[in-house]
Chains A and B, each alone.
Chain A
């Protein structure tokens, strides 16, 4: 078990460009979450997948953001037409919930992708 991995670890882009991040969860984990963290703040929830289904999206996730989890394995988060306000650490977490809806599952976080928009 290698833990949750995220790629790339760092991304620098110019305003207006599109970027895509990848998250590989722990094998067999059925839940996958994306969070965003800006300097000095706690992480903020962005979106959640149960297997391949995207079941919740935060209001923070504007139309420029899209996330997928094909086949319920890895996930991608794409940001189109990046803005300087998108600069943040993007964290992915995965968990396994034996019984849907108990909210006792432990979330395992990856190291994050730090995005800098110039």
Chain B
């Protein structure tokens, strides 16, 4: 399975936008880019996913580079509740759909 690389930690101020980067230089054509996050003492929760085009939902936006070797999760206005570990995951179409988590990025949001 293709690997992802994320910064260990990032900081943001409340109500400011946050851009969380992810590198996946070995991505294959059938790999979807998924983002999950894990709030303290909770199980992970789905944030967003995409294949080639940028995606928006009520939680976030996902910007995918044209060559698909990197992507960026965008939180438009960070709140204290967004403090979590964010995982960028590649899921290959056709397999069992298991999620392979890396270390993720720990996001701190300062008031």
Q: Which residues of A are interface residues toward B (Cβ below 8 A)?
A: 4, 31, 33, 35, 41-45, 48, 50, 55-56, 91, 93, 95, 97, 101-112
Which candidate, B38-46, B63-71, B73-81, is the interface stretch facing chain A? B38-46
Given contacts A103-B95, A103-B97, contact A91 B43 (CB under 8 A): yes
Q: How far is the CB of A64 from chain B (nearest CB, A)?
A: 21
- Contacting residues of chain B (30-66) with chain A, CB-CB under 8 angstroms: 32, 36, 42-46, 49
* CB–CB B94/A109 < 8 A: no
Q: Which residues of B are interface residues toward A (Cβ below 8 A)?
A: 32, 36, 42-46, 49, 85, 87, 91-104
How many interface contacts (CB-CB < 8 Å) are there between A and B?
Answer: 69
The closest CB in chain A to the CB of B92 belongs to A103
Chain B neighbourhood of A104, CB < 8 A: 32, 49, 91, 93
Please name 21 pairs of A and B residues whose Cβ atoms are closer than 8 Å in the assembled complex, sorted by A.
A35-B101, A42-B101, A42-B103, A42-B104, A43-B44, A43-B99, A55-B96, A91-B43, A93-B99, A102-B93, A103-B32, A103-B92, A104-B32, A104-B49, A105-B97, A106-B46, A107-B97, A108-B45, A109-B45, A110-B43, A112-B43
* CB–CB B97/A97 < 8 A: yes
Contact of B95 among A4, A44, A101, A109 (CB under 8 A): A101
The closest CB in chain A to the CB of B95 belongs to A103
* CB–CB B42/A111 < 8 A: yes
* CB–CB B97/A48 < 8 A: yes
Chain B neighbourhood of A93, CB < 8 A: 43-44, 99
